Amino acid sequence: MLDVIIWLVVAVVAIIIDVVTSSFIFMWFSIGALAAIILSFFGVSMAWQFIVFLITGIILIAIGYPWAKKKFKVEKNHTLTMEQTYIGRVMKANEEIVEKAKIKVDGIYWTAYNKGNKINKDDQFVITGIEGNKLIVELKEK
């Protein structure tokens, strides 16, 4: 009977830790504790209960953790960086942009790489992405 109480305490503590941390890791050990409780009803020694607890918990973490993270992933309100707000912005070229040029966005000079057709002076272009500290631009389709 002492075995059952120990495993119940382990299961409850694991669930409490998981609820507090929202990590989806410790709940799998709760299921391992339930497997150990079932073994204790059949009179299996505490050493084997512990081994089954560990093996069950580790296998369930390997399988269940990735599944639970994907299934219950919560989208956070992600604040965009200044550079990320530039993506999609349409601008007018002050100079010809063949492959690489300096452009000014909101008062800040950026190195821009042209991934599309040549951009002539006064053509409109779109900022399509960021690679490191460089902006990726393409000629805006008319």
Domain ranges of the chain: 2-71, 83-139
CA atoms within 13 A on the CB side of 126: 11
Q: Model confidence over 23-70: pLDDT tens digits?
A: 778 888 999 999 999 999 999 999 999 999 999 999 999 998 888 778
Mean pLDDT for all residues in the chain: 89
CATH fold for the domain made of 83-139: OB fold (Dihydrolipoamide Acetyltransferase, E2P) (2.40.50)
97: DSSP letter: B
**Residue 77 in this model has a pLDDT that exceeds 70:** no
Angle between helix 27-41 and 46-71 (nearest 10): 150
Q: For position 18, what pLDDT does the model report? A: 86
Q: For position 74, what pLDDT does the model report? A: 64
Q: Model confidence over 82-108: pLDDT tens digits?
A: 888 899 999 999 999 999 999 999 889
**Whole-prediction pTM:** 0.50
* Residue whose C-alpha is closest to residue 138's, from 30, 124, 18, 49: 124
Average pLDDT over residues 117-134: 92
R_g of the chain, CA atoms, integer Å:
29
Structure tokens at 68: 């639970």
| Strand-pair partners of 105 | 108
Q: For position 125, what pLDDT does the model report? A: 93
> By three-state DSSP, how is residue 98 classified?
coil
User: Is the CB of residue 61 less than 8 Å from the CB of residue 25?
Assistant: yes
Q: pLDDT band at 81, cuts 50/70/90?
A: confident
